[in-house]
């Protein structure tokens, strides 16, 4: 069981906007930045969002992140077939003194 | 170009040991904290261990504490994970990761598969 809670699946049609939620606690999301990773099958995760809502260079602005209290969300607008992947939220946990991850959300583009 | 290349994975019997290595290049290895993150087949990412830049401070997930030991050799630009008393639930792809701050991992290795089975 993961420290951060994500829905196991999400879906949308091309062009749609989808959101993925991530819920934590005061010792992790509530007091630290949230990060989002995209993992394509058979590959290592790739950083998608850092510091709640910042995009590394090369990440399209279709991807956006937000945080409120002990929850965060990732939004993907203008959904494309290549967005089909697993998405993980992550943050630092003060109690663990290490990073914690969500269980992952499998995004299907219908 | 930053590269992290893991090796040492394989099939091991329950109770056995394995040492993973992660060779780093393309950056000043001795300046960075390094981590191991694992992913069981079909499951999510789980943090395993961390080590500070000079190796003097380490941390472990409860699930591996007392069984796994993280270390590094800055002269060889290499990170290690010694895994003892392995269990079936340790079966996973193990990733070496460079973490900048918080949970910001900017570089991951390709992963090495550890299978614990009789």
Instruction: Report pLDDT for B6.
Output: 97
Q: Is B103 on the interface with A (CB under 8 A)?
A: yes
Q: Residue B53: exposed, middle, or buried by beta-carbon count in 10 A (0-12, 13-18, 19+)?
A: middle
Picking from B57, B48, B52, the residue whose alpha carbon sits closest to that of residue B90 is B48
Judged by CB atoms closer than 8 Å, whether chains meet at A47 and B99 is answered as no
Which residues in A lie closer than 8 A to residue B103 (C-beta atoms)? 32-35, 90-92, 99-101
Instruction: Report pLDDT for A97.
Output: 87
Q: Is B44 on the interface with A (CB under 8 A)?
A: yes
Q: Is B38 on the interface with A (CB under 8 A)?
A: no
Q: How many CB pairs under 8 A join A and B?
A: 69
Picking from A28, A75, A23, A22, the residue whose alpha carbon sits closest to that of residue A48 is A75
Q: Is A102 on the interface with B (CB under 8 A)?
A: yes
Report residues of chain B scoring pLDDT below 70: none
Contact call for residues A28 and A4 (beta carbons, < 8 A): yes
Judged by CB atoms closer than 8 Å, whether chains meet at B110 and A101 is answered as no
Q: Is A47 on the interface with B (CB under 8 A)?
A: yes
Picking from B78, B92, B106, the residue whose alpha carbon sits closest to that of residue A54 is B106
Please state, in angstroms and rounded to a whole number, the distance separating the CA atoms of residues B48 and B91. 13
Judged by CB atoms closer than 8 Å, whether chains meet at B105 and A45 is answered as yes
Tens of pLDDT, residue by residue over B54-77, are 999 999 999 999 999 999 999 999
Q: Is B47 on the interface with A (CB under 8 A)?
A: yes
Instruction: Report pLDDT for B118.
Output: 95
Contact call for residues B95 and B37 (beta carbons, < 8 A): yes
Tens of pLDDT, residue by residue over A9-57, are 999 999 999 999 999 999 999 999 999 999 999 899 999 999 999 999 9
Whether the predicted pLDDT of A108 surpasses 90: yes
Over its C-alpha atoms, chain B yields an Rg (Å, rounded) of 13
């Amino acid at each position: 069981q993961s420290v951060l809670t994500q829905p196991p699946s999400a879906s949308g049609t091309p062009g749609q906007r989808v959101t993925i939620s991530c819920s934590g606690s005061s010792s992790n999301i509530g007091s630290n930045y949230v990060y989002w990773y995209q993992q394509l099958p058979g590959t290592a995760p790739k950083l998608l969002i850092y510091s709640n809502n910042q995009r590394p260079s090369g990440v399209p602005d279709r991807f956006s992140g937000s945080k409120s209290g002990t929850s965060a969300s990732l939004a993907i607008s203008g959904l494309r077939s290549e967005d089909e992947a697993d998405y993980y939220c992550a943050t630092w946990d003060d109690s663990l003194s290490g990073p914690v991850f969500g269980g992952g959300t499998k995004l299907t583009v219908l | 170009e930053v590269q992290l290349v893991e090796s040492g994975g394989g099939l091991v019997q329950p109770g056995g040991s394995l040492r993973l290595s992660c060779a780093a290049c393309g950056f000043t290895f001795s300046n960075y904290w390094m981590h191991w993150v694992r992913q069981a087949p079909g499951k999510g990412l789980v943090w395993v261990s961390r080590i500070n830049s000079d190796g003097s401070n380490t941390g472990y997930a409860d699930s591996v504490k007392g069984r796994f030991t993280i270390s590094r050799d800055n002269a060889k630009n290499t990170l290690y994970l010694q895994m003892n008393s392995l269990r079936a639930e340790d079966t996973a792809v193990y990733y070496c990761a460079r973490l900048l701050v918080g949970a910001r991992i900017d570089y991951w290795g390709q992963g090495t598969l550890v299978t614990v089975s009789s």
